[in-house]
């Protein structure tokens, strides 16, 4: 079986990765999709000119590597994943030698996916934490909320909360067809635990809800390691939509 390592996918490869990911999603529950960005590390397993599986690596930090793999449902239990994993681990070893740093290697999986969970068990991978996608509908009640902080729009969807003339927090909004995506939400450290985070978040929802022609749903992502943020989102009406989990190997 031929393996191809690349950081730049051509048009045909992008199509093949997308189609294989869709076959996997149709086969069992799976929230993960195939990323197609240049700069990631890809390993493609080819058999007879056909894509049997692929893995991709992402390095969010110099000492952390995230990996996900897809194997065609019709090609499982034939050693495809093992060959992909061997190549992936070789890439990580090379990176460690280049940087002189030890890299924590982890898998990113959807725990609803039976095959992924079976692989984690077989590899004796250790659960690390989960990343949650949370969603919340917008309502007229949201539009009526009166925020105690001054909210100023800065640029490109970035907003700032102001208290007594000083910056109190920031938040970014990305509009989409299915709804708004809220990210980079934070409150100044010395103001935390005093209700300003809740006030700022509800103030942002009020701004979005005021436009009746805009999407009526807001989504965000939050780490399971950030208990305070997750609690805030739950208390303001956000609910879990899906979760992706990290397993150390």
**How does residue 67 score in pLDDT terms, banded at 50, 70 and 90?**
very high
Average of pLDDT values for 39-67?
Answer: 95
The dihedral over CA atoms of 91, 93, 97, 101, expressed in degrees to the nearest 10, equals 110
Q: Partners of 216 in the beta sheet?
A: none
Supply 54's token pair: 């692929």
Q: What angle do CA 128, 111, 4 make, to 5 degrees?
A: 85
pTM summary value: 0.80
Look at the domain 133-241 and name its fold.
Aminopeptidase (3.40.630)
**How does residue 211 score in pLDDT terms, banded at 50, 70 and 90?**
confident
* CB neighbour class for 80 (10 Å; exposed up to 12, middle 13-18, buried from 19): buried
Q: CB–CB of 119/68 below 8 Å?
A: no
Q: In sequence order, what DSSP letters do the residues of 188-247 get, joined into one string?
A: -GGGTTTTHHHHHHHHHHHHHHT-TTS-SEEEEEEETT-HHHHHHHHHTT-EEEEEEEEE
Average of pLDDT values for 188-194?
Answer: 94
User: If you average pLDDT over every residue of the chain, what do you get?
Assistant: 94
Output the pLDDT for position 66.
Answer: 96
Q: Tell me yes or no: is domain 2-124 CATH 3.40.630.30.
A: yes
Q: Partners of 172 in the beta sheet?
A: 158, 183
Phi-psi region of 63 (alpha: psi -120 to 50; beta: other; left: phi over 0): alpha
Q: To which H or E segment does residue 91 belong?
A: helix 80-99
Looking at residue 73, the DSSP 8-state letter turns out to be G
Q: CB–CB of 59/92 below 8 Å?
A: no
pLDDT digits (tens, 9 = 90+) for 216-231: 899 999 999 999 999 9
Question: How many C-beta atoms surround the C-beta of residue 116 within 10 A?
Answer: 24
Output the pLDDT for position 178.
Answer: 81
- Does residue 236 have a pLDDT over 80? yes
- Does residue 23 have a pLDDT over 90? yes
For the chain, give the percent of residues with pLDDT over 70: 99
pLDDT digits (tens, 9 = 90+) for 123-180: 999 999 999 999 999 999 999 999 999 999 998 899 999 999 999 999 999 988 789 9
Q: CB–CB of 19/52 below 8 Å?
A: no
Domain ranges of the chain: 2-124, 133-241
Q: Partners of 133 in the beta sheet?
A: 221, 242
- Does residue 115 have a pLDDT over 80? yes
Average of pLDDT values for 185-214?
Answer: 93
Q: To which H or E segment does residue 82 belong?
A: helix 80-99
- Does residue 214 have a pLDDT over 80? no
- Does residue 39 have a pLDDT over 90? no
Average of pLDDT values for 17-33?
Answer: 95
């Amino acid at each position: 079986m031929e393996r191809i390592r690349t950081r730049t996918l051509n048009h045909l490869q992008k199509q093949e990765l997308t189609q294989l990911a869709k076959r996997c999603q149709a086969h069992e529950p799976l929230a993960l999709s195939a990323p197609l960005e240049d700069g990631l590390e890809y390993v493609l397993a080819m058999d007879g000119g056909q894509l049997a599986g692929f893995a991709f690596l992402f390095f969010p930090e110099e000492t952390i590597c995230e990996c996900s793999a897809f194997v065609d449902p019709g090609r499982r239990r034939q050693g495809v994943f093992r060959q992909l994993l061997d190549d992936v681990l070789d890439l990580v070893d090379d990176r460690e030698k280049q940087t002189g740093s030890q890299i924590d290697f982890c898998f990113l999986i959807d725990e609803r996916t039976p095959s992924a969970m079976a692989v984690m068990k077989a590899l004796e991978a250790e659960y690390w934490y989960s990343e949650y996608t949370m969603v919340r509908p917008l309502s007229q009640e949201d539009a009526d909320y009166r925020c105690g902080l001054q909210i100023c729009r800065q640029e490109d969807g970035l907003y700032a909360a102001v208290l007594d003339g000083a910056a109190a927090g920031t938040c970014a909004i990305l509009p989409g067809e299915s709804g708004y995506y809220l990210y980079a939400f934070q409150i100044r450290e010395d103001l935390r635990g005093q209700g300003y985070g809740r006030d700022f978040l509800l103030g942002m929802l009020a701004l979005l809800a005021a436009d009746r022609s805009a999407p009526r749903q807001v989504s965000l992502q939050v780490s399971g390691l950030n208990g305070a943020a997750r609690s805030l989102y739950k208390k303001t009406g956000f609910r879990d939509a899906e979760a992706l989990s990290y397993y150390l190997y």
